[in-house]
């Protein structure tokens, strides 16, 4: 029989969870707080459920030092659902701002307002996407599906500089962002902070997205959530699926500026959006509705929120005042020793992304230039050492070590030892 302690799991998601959290979960699934029923059986509108939600928010707020003027939402959309949600919600804000400005100029003539607004939407509506990997590409494609390709500005497509592959992030002077003006700019700028498939991570927040006139920046952090410090104030929306660093599959987490929620801002009505041939999003992806109902508009999987809260509470207990900086140090150290070992044997291993954008979370490399048989043998040898989940994504192949928080430093050292042994015997 193989025990959990015998293996180190490097899968990209669903990903490993702390054993202590799973042990506690096995208890609360059967009997939560000695109530005689399990956590999956309690009402999502009960005081216990609200307590679980509040605890998860509190721990995430502490870890990332989330300012008071931000709200945390829990949804069942996954990261892919948020590709759509950000478009629905932020386009509705952009349209309403344009409508209000036109109404100031022409008064109560609703027909004239609509006529001018149609022209503005047709000529000015843009959503900027930084396409640096497989997930940002999917996000841009979803935006084009919802609002039309003419409204989507791919400000950078990293494949053009990488011989058709996602291996680098072009310098910002090569980006073609929609110009910011006093009266306009893009409805949003989207980027994926860490590309799970391709192993590309932004080393820092883009300089060109900063400033007093900064656009509404939406960042997908699904695979590097709570792995490093984040200046939340730079973002309008941060989102991510929980199933990599935070919890099990089932929920997405959104951190959003309260200034983007009513009553601070007004969204274009569904009727107006239909008049403009723009999409109206489903109610379960409507940020104002989710915020108003404390993430409980529909039946939220409270067990999944509980898992996330327990994982984050474990980090709080471990690192205390260092907050997420403590985990960042460990994440960096694990990535450092793995990359150093790969670089030590260039005749055996080749890291896929460029040096400056190597992901700390998803370490993608090829063995013997991508020789299929040798990579298969490498994976088989790794499994014998208890190193599981190292096969690369089906779309790109190769090897991928997903270095998430639940992978211990000991696990990283075990992988390093195997990399050394394999290289010396190759």
What CATH number has the domain bearing residue 416? 3.90.1150.10
For tokens 């193989």, name the residue: 2
For residues 105 and 98, the answer to whether their CB atoms sit within 8 Å is no
Q: What is the model's pLDDT at position 106?
A: 93
Residue 171 falls inside a structural domain: yes
Residue 306: the pLDDT is 98
Average pLDDT over residues 278-292: 98
The answer to whether residue 258 sits within a structural domain is yes
Domain boundary among 304, 334, 357: 304
Do 295 and 411 fall into the same domain?
no
Q: Is the pLDDT of residue 403 over 80?
A: yes
Residue 352 maps to a domain: yes
- Band (295; pLDDT cuts 50, 70, 90): very high
Residue 19, in any domain of the structure: no
Q: What are the tokens at 17?
A: 């969870």
Do 144 and 255 sit in the same domain of this protein?
A: yes
State mean pLDDT over 322-344: 98
Q: Of 255, 275, 304, which residue constitutes the final position of a domain?
A: 304
- The answer on 350 and 243 residing in a single domain is no
Stretch 191-211: mean pLDDT, rounded? 97
pLDDT in tens, 213-262: 889 999 999 999 999 999 999 999 999 999 999 999 999 999 999 999 99
- Asked if the structure places residue 114 within a domain, the reply is yes
The verdict on 298 and 327 lying in the same domain is no
Is residue 32, in this structure, part of any structural domain at all? no
- Residues 183, 274, single domain; the answer is yes
Which pLDDT belongs to residue 56? 98
256 and 127 part of one domain? yes
Number of domains in the chain: 2
pLDDT above 80: residue 88 = yes
pLDDT digits (tens, 9 = 90+) for 136-147: 999 999 999 999
Mean pLDDT of the chain: 96
Q: Calculate mean pLDDT across residues 348-371.
A: 97
Residues 229 and 95 in one domain: yes
Percentage helix, strand, coil, to 5, in the chain?
50, 15, 35
Q: Are 227 and 125 found together in one domain?
A: yes
Whether 292 and 370 map to the same domain: the answer is no
CATH number of the structural domain spanning residue 87:
3.40.640.10
> Which two structure tokens, joined as six digits, stand for 384?
């014998």
Long-range contacts of 346-352 (CB under 8 A, 24+ apart): 348/422, 348/423, 348/426, 349/419, 349/423, 351/199, 352/165, 352/167, 352/198, 352/199, 352/396, 352/398
- The pLDDT assigned to 213 comes to 84
Residue 183: pLDDT band by 50, 70, 90 thresholds? confident
Alpha carbon of 79 to those of 22, 244, 251, 302: distances in Å?
A: 23, 11, 9, 18
Residue 233 lies in a domain: yes
Provide the pairing of β-strand 217-220 with 188-192.
parallel
Judged by phi (left if over 0) then psi (alpha if -120 to 50, else beta), residue 72 lies in beta
Which range of residues forms the domain containing residue 152? Answer: 57-304
Instruction: With respect to residue 272, please indicate whether it lies within any of the assigned structural domains.
Output: yes
pTM of the model: 0.97
């Amino acid at each position: 029989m193989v025990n959990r302690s015998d293996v180190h799991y490097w899968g990209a998601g669903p990903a490993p969870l702390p054993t202590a959290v799973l042990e506690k979960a096995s208890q609360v699934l059967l009997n939560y707080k000695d109530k005689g029923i399990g956590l999956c059986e309690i009402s999502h509108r009960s005081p216990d459920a609200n307590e679980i939600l509040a605890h998860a928010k509190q721990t995430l707020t502490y870890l990332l030092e989330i300012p008071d003027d931000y709200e945390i939402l829990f949804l069942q959309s996954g990261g892919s659902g948020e590709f759509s949600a950000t478009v629905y919600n932020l386009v509705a804000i952009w349209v309403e701002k344009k409508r209000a400005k036109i109404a100031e100029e022409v008064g109560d003539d609703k027909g004239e307002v609509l006529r001018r607004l149609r022209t503005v939407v047709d000529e000015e509506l843009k959503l900027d996407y930084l396409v640096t990997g497989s997930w940002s590409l999917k996000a841009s494609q979803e935006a084009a599906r919802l609002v039309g390709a003419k409204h989507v500005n791919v400000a950078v497509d990293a494949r053009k500089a990488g011989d058709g592959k996602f291996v680098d992030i072009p310098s910002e002077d090569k980006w073609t962002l929609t110009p910011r003006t006093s009266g306009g700019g893009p409805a949003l700028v989207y980027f994926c902070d860490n590309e799970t498939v391709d192993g590309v991570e932004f080393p820092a927040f883009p300089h060109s997205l900063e400033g007093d006139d900064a656009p509404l920046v939406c960042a997908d952090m699904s695979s590097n959530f709570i792995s490093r410090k984040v200046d939340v104030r730079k973002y309008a929306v941060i989102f991510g699926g929980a199933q990599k660093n935070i919890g099990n599959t089932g929920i997405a987490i959104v951190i959003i500026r309260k200034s983007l929620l009513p009553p601070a801002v007004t969204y274009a009505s569904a009727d107006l959006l239909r008049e403009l041939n723009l999409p109206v999003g489903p109610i379960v992806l409507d940020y104002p509705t989710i915020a108003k109902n404390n993430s409980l508009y529909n039946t939220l999987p409270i067990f999944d929120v509980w898992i996330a809260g327990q994982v984050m509470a474990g980090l709080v207990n471990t690192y205390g005042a260092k907050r997420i900086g403590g985990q960042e140090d460990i994440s960096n150290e694990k990535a450092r020793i793995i990359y150093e070992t790969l670089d030590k044997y260039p005749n055996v291993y080749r890291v896929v992304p460029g040096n400056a954008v190597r992901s700390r979370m998803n370490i993608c490399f090829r063995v013997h230039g991508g020789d299929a048989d040798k990579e298969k043998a490498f994976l088989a040898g790794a499994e014998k050492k208890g190193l599981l989940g190292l096969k690369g994504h089906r779309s790109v192949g190769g090897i991928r070590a997903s270095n998430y928080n639940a992978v211990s430093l000991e696990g990283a050292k075990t992988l390093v030892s195997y990399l050394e042994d394999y290289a010396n015997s190759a």
